[in-house]
Amino acid sequence: MGLATDPIGRWEALGRPLHALPRWGAILVLVAALLSLAWSAVAVGGFVAALEHSEAEQAHSRYRDIDLYAQIHARVAAGEGYYAAALAEQRAHGYPTRPAVTVRPPTTAWGTALFGLQGWRIVAVLLLFGGVIAWLGALAPGTLAWERIAAAVLLAGAGIGATFERAGLIHELIAGLALTLSLGLYRPNRWWPSLLAAALALAVREIAAAYVVVWLTVAVAERRWRESAALAALLAGIVLALVLHAQAVAAERLPGDLTSPGWSALIGPVMPLAGMARLSPLLLLPGWLAGPLALLPLLGWIGLGGRTGLFATLWFLGFGTAVALFARPENFYWVLLVLPAYFAGLALAPRALADLVRGAAGKT
């Protein structure tokens, strides 16, 4: 089969794609990578510093999203209906209720009412543990033992938020842990556990649908029709759930409720990288170092090759592009959807850089 009829198979046949580049291609990619890393060292540090300065000025009066969700969860746990509680709290604290997606799905609030925030903390830790184990297996073909161990350590470190007492109040954190598990669990002959983990992510945060769209695209390209049908059904289910969600929000909305300013900030690639730098252990590093370390995992995933590397690259690059285009500065937490899986790619970056250097030097 040719590239048009079997693009995934063609990619897999390359093995390590950066190693397969011709010399001129390796030189071009290496120069682009080095320039991007240099840019990130300057841009991310400055952007993060500006954000932190702005937040420090507003700290005395700022009501945080996590405070809002804590109050909503408390009201639901006390027996109040979710939509009545959510819209009342958002209205009281100056949050918009238009469009309906400004109101989060009720899943985490219902979970808190059922088993408490401590229960969500346990769920988050189990998802993280499962993700680490799943990725040790997913990376086994074609990687060295030290790379897998390093990837597991990086993944666990980037997922440290799972241990936070109020993890259940951060929708993107739970969804990102579920997607990390989903991506690591996937096997061509056993894809349904991965589908269940993706469904959990969708139930918690609807923008996880972007992951399912990427998966569906890959499955269709591979002509895996049963898998494609299941993914299409999952997407249809979330569309139906969003319609019902919108109706429930509309039923509680009042004429004076605020409307969101929208999501078209067009901040650029510094936005997802700054989010990575703020929501991972990179927070402990200076911006000039955090920026390149937030970008390097992407090169590692590209260099991995195979279906796993391709799927991961498409997901991380695609969602990062969406954040760059649509997220406002205060939406930096969206990047939690690709964490902690994304940072496992940092363990793969040395081999990717080595492939590029060898290729640029004309060595095979």
Overall size of the chain counted in residues: 364
Phi and psi at residue 361, to the nearest 5°: -85, -5
Q: What is the pLDDT of residue 10?
A: 83
Encoded amino acid at 207, one letter: I
What pLDDT is recorded for position 264?
83
The 10s digit of each residue's pLDDT in 131-164 is 999 999 999 988 999 999 999 999 999 999 999 9
Going by pLDDT thresholds of 50, 70 and 90, the confidence category of residue 12 is confident
The predicted-structure confidence for 330-342, as pLDDT tens digits, reads as follows: 899 999 999 999 9
pLDDT of residue 61: 59
Which tens digit of pLDDT belongs to each residue from 79-119?
999 999 999 999 999 999 999 999 999 999 999 999 999 99
The residue type of 86 is A
Report the pLDDT averaged over residues 66-86. 98
Measuring CA to CA, which residue among 281, 291, 317 is closest to residue 38? 291
**pLDDT at residue 363 in the model:** 75
CA angle 239–244–245, rounded 5-degree value:
90
What local confidence, expressed as pLDDT, does residue 58 receive?
64
In the chain, the percentage of residues whose pLDDT exceeds 70 is: 96
Distance CA 62, CA 55 (A): 8
> C-alpha angle with apex 150: 146 to 154, nearest 5 degrees?
175
Q: How far is CA 200 from CA 96, 127, 159, 209, in A?
A: 26, 11, 17, 11
Give the number of other Cβ atoms within 10 Å of residue 256's Cβ: 6
Q: Alpha helices, DSSP H only, in the chain?
A: 7-13, 23-58, 65-77, 82-92, 107-138, 145-158, 171-185, 192-204, 209-221, 225-252, 270-278, 287-304, 306-326, 349-360
Given a contact cutoff of 8 angstroms between Cβ atoms, the answer to whether 73 and 112 are in contact is yes
